[in-house]
Amino acid sequence: MGAADQRYFDVLRSAHFPPERNHLAAHITLFHQLPPSCIDELDRLVRAIAADTPPPAANLREVYSLGQGVAFRIDSPDLLAIRDRIADHFAGMLTAQDRGTPRLHITVQNKVSAGEARELLTRLSAGFRPRPLKIAGLAAYHYLGGPWQPAFARNFHRART
């Protein structure tokens, strides 16, 4: 995300995500699990995408319930097109979960009681207005059984015309 959006969602996540489970900054998940053996190939592909693709247009659409948490839904055909490009490249390596089209979102709370989640949903929904969301780049992480280790991050270079 862009710096201002990143700060905003990091603050929400820090305030409302159980600390023992909050191992990552706020993010939008495009894939849950790619084989660690393809990280160099993924980095090359993401570098190419970042160089030849403008930052994708995106909009925050709504605040919604995860049952035991709260997330912000994102509309971005452009980001889904980028995701499709990566998925096509790694088609034979995708897990069943990653073969489907993701519902783009930013999770700010998860694994809490349903009542706590409803309370936050009500509070965040009251002041919410749909708005643009800046997408600055793409990143990958290594999962280490709880904590995550950054593998790489690449910002988009082309301006949107």
Confidence of residue 95 (pLDDT cuts 50, 70, 90): very high
The answer to whether the CB of 102 falls within 8 A of the CB of 87 is no
Residue 159 reports pLDDT greater than 80 = no
C-alpha span between 150 and 37 (Å, rounded): 15
Render pLDDT for 132-145 as a digit per residue (tens, 0 to 9): 999 999 999 998 77
Q: Where are the domains of the chain?
A: 3-59+76-105+132-155
**How does pLDDT run across 97-110, given as a tens digit for each residue?**
999 999 999 999 99
Whole-angstrom Cα distance, residue 27 to residue 29? Answer: 6
pLDDT of 26:
97
Alpha helices for 1-38 (secondary structure H): 3-16
